[in-house]
Structure 1
Amino acid sequence: MSLCSFTCGALRFSTGYSRHVSSSSLILEPIRRNSTRCSISKQSRCTYPRMYKTTVALADGSTITVRLNQPRKIIKLPMDVLQLTDSERRAIWLGRRKKVETLDESHIEDNFDAGKYWTK
């Protein structure tokens, strides 16, 4: 083992162990305090290990990219209806209404003859 550096009262060797200098003896502690340590009940991190890129569409039309813990493609934020003009508010309301298609009876031609399908 070769001595690399002496900083802040701790000796660091090339093996990856930290040795604290004390008057009585050298104490060996492995440097393994990271996210890959073993955990019995759950991960002890407050952030999720896998974050998905998501596009957020703001009310003014601009977009930003954020990271979420759930996979989503796009999030569209609602617009403030109170700040719109009356014509814009009416256009949004008409777009949200249920569209009902009506059949025009004059265009339906009924030329079906059931007698052609009878056999004698």
Structure 2
Amino acid sequence: MKEWDGIERMGYKIPEDDGVVMISDYKQNVKEKAGVYRIYNEQDRIMYVGQSHNLKRRIGEHFRGKRKGYYIYRVRYFYVEHENNFILNSFLDLYETLLIRKLNPRYNKQKSSPMRYI
């Protein structure tokens, strides 16, 4: 994807995953830290990409809440840290939008602005 290559040339790369969790082990493994996550169904298809300032709480909400027509099989996530809250929010938005653009999850429709505006 041409837009993705441009972002990477600027030095913004999606971090490696810090973890993969199932419903049975997210409480022990996911920390109460900011980050970005991807939800996969039982066929290993990506269903949703999201972000949160508290991944443990947000992933738990997905596991406990009403699903949008898909079964949550596993969640991949990575943490994003910065001492400046504005920059932290900017990175969360950037990484979430880039993953949505790259992976095109079925249930993410809100990030539809052209890449040139990022």
Is the pair's TM-score, using the shorter chain for normalization, greater than 0.5?
no
**1 or 2, which has the higher strand percentage?**
1
**1 or 2, which has the higher helix percentage?**
2
| TM-score scaled by length of structure 1 | 0.19
| TM-score scaled by length of structure 2 | 0.19
